[in-house]
Amino acid sequence: QVQLVESGGGLVQAGGSLRLSCAASGRTFTRFAMGWFRQAPGKGREFVAAIKWRDDSTYYADSVKGRFTISRDNAKNTVALQMNTLKPEDTAVYYCAAATKAIFLSSSYRTAANYDYWGQGTQVTVSS
């Protein structure tokens, strides 16, 4: 009933930038937070960034802090991930996700199980 659609992935060289966007459609739902996760070949799904919808509080993985910025647009019901100074290690499929239930601990934003809806993912490839 709820669809999340990512866009903006692509192929870039190390040091370049990409901007990912995620749009929600379908039935309305109570949005507590939205986040970005990524999964590289042979690895599990890794937390990247999250934003609390009510007050714009943001959370970042240490590996991307200072390089990536998550933002939201309430009117458009979208969330974006600006990725700068990309590294080959950032290569992965990036997924957006929505949490409909309250998250009380800041550390819990990093946990994929706390998110209820997921997009299909968009490929980001960073060459050396």
Give the integer Cα–Cα distance in Å for 106 and 89. 25
H or E element, residue 71: strand 68-73
Q: What pLDDT, in 10s, does the model give residues 14-41?
A: 999 999 999 988 877 778 899 999 999 9
DSSP state of 101: S
Give the integer Cα–Cα distance in Å for 114 and 127. 32
Q: What pLDDT, in 10s, does the model give residues 40-98?
A: 999 999 999 999 988 889 999 999 999 999 999 877 889 999 999 999 999 999 999 99
Give the integer Cα–Cα distance in Å for 12 and 7. 15
